[in-house]
């Protein structure tokens, strides 16, 4: 194994799954600006995750939609414009 290729600044950080607010503590050297107060009363750096083992379909066994960027809402908003035009052009049934 090569020497001096791994970082030496590992520290305890809190990882937070943003899709379901699950948090856990682990060691990491990732740079982060956010901090959070943990259950033990100490404040730790916060690393935000899009998905973790509590929300990933492989581990949960069920499909769930994770939409952290609002992509589904954007699509529905764009799609609504097309359906409104089609509904307005259709003749009214009496």
What whole-number distance in Å separates Cα of residue 24 and Cα of residue 36? 11
What whole-number distance in Å separates Cα of residue 44 and Cα of residue 65? 29
pTM > 0.85: no
Q: Nearest 5°: phi and psi at 39?
A: -60, -25
What whole-number distance in Å separates Cα of residue 58 and Cα of residue 55? 9
pLDDT in tens, 30-60: 989 999 999 999 999 999 988 887 877 666 6
Round the average pLDDT of the chain to a whole number and report it: 80
What whole-number distance in Å separates Cα of residue 5 and Cα of residue 39? 34
The ranges assigned to domains in the chain are 11-64
């Amino acid at each position: 194994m090569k020497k001096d290729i791994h970082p030496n600044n590992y520290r305890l950080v809190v990882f937070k799954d943003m899709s379901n607010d699950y948090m856990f503590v682990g060691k990491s050297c990732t740079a982060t600006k956010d901090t959070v107060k943990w259950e033990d009363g100490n404040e730790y750096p916060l690393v935000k995750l899009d998905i973790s083992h509590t929300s990933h379909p492989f581990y949960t066994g069920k499909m769930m939609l994770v939409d952290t960027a609002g992509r589904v809402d954007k699509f529905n908003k764009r799609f609504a414009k097309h359906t409104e035009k089609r509904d307005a052009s259709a003749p009214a049934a009496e």
